[in-house]
Amino acid sequence: MRVLFVLIITFLFNSTTFAQQGSVQIIADERVDLLIDKHKYLNRHQPVLDGWRIQIFFEAGANSKRKATDAQQRFKSLYSNTEAYLSFREPYYRIRVGDFRTRLEAEGFLQKIKADYPNAFAVSEKVYPPPLPETKQE
């Protein structure tokens, strides 16, 4: 009985390993290749990566755009080395600051600005990579 079982398993295993060979022809619209090329171009020329920013302002309603630009200017005067981004997603204007690769970096910066922005918090977002440090050439 055991020999029969082994023969059956061996037969099944060998029969599944011999697959038929053939060819596949892909028929696709030429515009698909154009979209792929465009995607590659945009990735090369608009480098963004998953990262973190600190949201310091969020408001909707009358005068919210003016308040957002005022908040952006105030932040830039306090922290001139950190970029501040104004965005609008209906109906809210918001200011998010920094380009941090990790949440830990963002949380560290959040602690620095907490006195000036007590309601600020870290958010996950596409960010611009920070410039690479220049190396000294001797």
Element (H, E) at 43: helix 30-45
User: Residues 81-98, buried b or exposed e (16+ Cβ, 10 A)?
Assistant: ebbbbeeeeeeebbbbbb
Q: Structural domains in the chain?
A: 51-127 (3.30.70.1070)
Residue 43 near residue 129 (C-beta atoms within 8 A): no
Could you tell me the pTM of the whole model? 0.63
Q: What is the pLDDT of residues 57-87, one digit of tens each?
A: 999 999 999 999 999 999 999 999 999 999 9
Collect the ranges in the chain with pLDDT lower than 70. 1-7, 10-20, 130-138
Query: Which of 74, 83, 89, 136 is CA-nearest to residue 109?
Result: 83
Rg (the chain; Cα; Å): 28
